[in-house]
Amino acid sequence: MDIKVQPADPSRRRPKPTDESKLVFGRMFSDHMFIMDYRSGEGWREARIVPYHALQMDPAAMVLHYGQGIFEGLKAYRWKDGKIRLFRPRKNWERFNRSAARMCMPQVDVDFQFKVVETLLALDHEWVPHSVGSSLYIRPTMIASEPHLGVRPANEYLYYVITGPVAAYYAEGFNPIRIYVSNEFVRAVRGGVGEAKTMANYASSLFAAEMAKKKGFTQVLWLDGIERRFVEEVGTMNIFFRIKDELITPPLTGSILPGVTRDSVIELAGHWGIKVSERPITIDEVIDAIQTGAMMEIFGTGTAAVISPVGEISYLDRFYKVQDGGVGEWSRKLYDEIVGIQYGEKEDPFGWIYPVEI
């Protein structure tokens, strides 16, 4: 499928960031967006890149009522040579299609998604920031656009991609987070939609997240929805525990989002000879390991922060500091290595880097 390109009029271009270190995540968007339409029986059509604009939607559009919508999040990195690279983008495109399948939405060809981003970056490459650690965030999205009230999969969809520059996450160095274990609210259950990057997961997480914030915590540590014993995720990140010299992360059993960063940490740690276990871990085991001193470090993983060290946990009104509340050795090492690969400062033995041809 060809992509029709309608460049923004130079006089209508948006002002670029004046200070890349002050970019707030998700506030500023680049000049163009990709969009295409789907209709059952006809497939995808009218692939086009147009100036960034507000969508016009029927108030009965199904996504607005029944939440049939999915998204992805990945970044474009500018290397010292001025060229732009992506980090494991195929993983995002494939996950997008798995999310789509779970939500009864149409598939988008993986090779076509590469073409979409490359065509978009050909126009908006100047929006990829230059300072180390900053990047252009890419947000592919699919929504049910058919105007229809009544619960069933829609017959019409919009797929679009917007992008926006984001600052380095740790402009002032690592900042360990304090997390609140919610034993009242859950994010997802096995058999539900927790493993899909679908909108409902974020709406349902808000209440507990606000509660945690009111109590002075950064994120919620989610337990499993059935027994409320097994640790699942932290905020919108996957979670890792280092107990002595073993790295542990919960297995992907359906209620956990299969993070690209999670997968990268598992591969990298394994490559370094670290024992990595994808196994269930209870909150009691976590608290016990902290109290005996066996818990060396805890960290979250996700595209936004890469590695987010956890300094303290609150569970059932008690507080538990992880070691001295600082940044663990493996957290720092994994962060440096992954960020080093993303910016071309370290070797990429896994073939994770995708050079953008524009």
Ligand X SMILES: *Cc1c(COP(=O)(O)O)cnc(C)c1O
Binding-site ranges for ligand X (CB under 6 A): 73, 197, 233, 236-238, 257, 259-262, 301-303
Distance of CA 354 to the CA centre of its chain: 18
Nearer to ligand X, 176 or 259 (CB): 259
Nearer to ligand X, 176 or 302 (CB): 302
The two three-digit tokens of residue 206, written as one number: 């808000």
3-state secondary structure of 129: coil
Distance separating alpha carbons of residues 32 and 269, to the nearest angstrom: 38
Nearer to ligand X, 153 or 258 (CB): 258
Distance of CA 85 to the CA centre of its chain: 17
Q: Rounded to the nearest whole angstrom, what is the least distance from the CB of residue 209 to ligand X in the complex?
A: 12
Please identify the residue of the shown chain whose CB is closest to the bound ligand X: 259
Nearer to ligand X, 146 or 233 (CB): 233
Q: Rounded to the nearest whole angstrom, what is the least distance from the CB of residue 201 to ligand X in the complex?
A: 6
Nearer to ligand X, 30 or 205 (CB): 205
Distance separating alpha carbons of residues 179 and 181, to the nearest angstrom: 7
Q: Rounded to the nearest whole angstrom, what is the least distance from the CB of residue 91 to ligand X in the complex?
A: 7
CB atoms within 10 A of CB 183: 12
3-state secondary structure of 297: strand
Burial of residue 107, with CB atoms counted within 10 A of its CB: 0-12 exposed, 13-18 middle, 19 or more buried: middle
Nearer to ligand X, 220 or 322 (CB): 220
Distance separating alpha carbons of residues 355 and 358, to the nearest angstrom: 9
Distance separating alpha carbons of residues 70 and 149, to the nearest angstrom: 19
Q: Rounded to the nearest whole angstrom, what is the least distance from the CB of residue 116 to ligand X in the complex?
A: 19
Nearer to ligand X, 146 or 195 (CB): 195
Q: Rounded to the nearest whole angstrom, what is the least distance from the CB of residue 260 to ligand X in the complex?
A: 3
Q: Rounded to the nearest whole angstrom, what is the least distance from the CB of residue 230 to ligand X in the complex?
A: 16
Distance separating alpha carbons of residues 167 and 25, to the nearest angstrom: 7
Distance separating alpha carbons of residues 262 and 225, to the nearest angstrom: 21
Q: Rounded to the nearest whole angstrom, what is the least distance from the CB of residue 12 to ligand X in the complex?
A: 32
The identity of residue 76, as a single letter, is: A
What is the per-residue DSSP string for 69-116?
EEE--EEEEE-TTS-EEEESHHHHHHHHHHHHHHTT-----HHHHHHH
Q: Rounded to the nearest whole angstrom, what is the least distance from the CB of residue 293 to ligand X in the complex?
A: 29
Residue 257 backbone dihedrals phi, psi, to 5 degrees: -75, 125
Nearer to ligand X, 148 or 333 (CB): 333
